Amino acid sequence: MNDKKYDECLSSYQESFKISQTSVLSTLRAAACAFSGDNQQILKTYTNKAFELNWDQAKEIFDNYSEFEYLKGSEFEKTINEKWAKAAKESGINLELMVEFKEIQRTDQAQRGYMREIQDEFGWDSPQMDSL
């Protein structure tokens, strides 16, 4: 994909998917190939499949994997966001609460990461760790 050989990329994924298509990440990568190669039919097929496999994981992968960074602000991102909101709503999930939980998770993990840094530098029983 980095070489912009989108047809080769799609061909490789299509061959692989004949064996198994259970990976949200691989399916989303194939959708990105289709989008980048302007293959709308395959794009729709693979985005639908990624969301069928796990709609929340599909959005998490898109949002957090740097390989999708070049697609930020594109129609691909718009599609991902729309499909996620629709799937979440159909699942009966409170989107506002879900966003709040994700922010709690993000800050929790950031604080834990900071604690690991302090522990590694000063030790678990250090005054610095105690102050945390």
Q: Are residues 26 and 87 in the same domain?
A: yes
pLDDT single digits (tens) 51-110: 999 999 999 999 999 999 999 999 999 999 999 999 988 988 888 888 899 899 989 999
Please give the Cα distance from 20 to 15 (Å, whole number): 9
Q: Are residues 6 and 39 in the same domain?
A: yes
Containing domain of residue 111, as a range? 94-132
- Please give the tally of structural domains in the chain: 2
Q: Are residues 85 and 74 in the same domain?
A: yes
| Residue 1 pLDDT level (bands cut at 50, 70, 90) | low
Closest to 46 in 3D by CA, of 10, 91, 73, 78: 10
Q: Are residues 22 and 39 in the same domain?
A: yes
Q: Are residues 61 and 80 in the same domain?
A: yes
Closest to 27 in 3D by CA, of 44, 39, 40: 44
Maximum pairwise Cα distance, the chain: 60
Q: For position 84, what pLDDT does the model report?
A: 92
CA Rg, the chain, in Å?
19
pTM value is 0.74
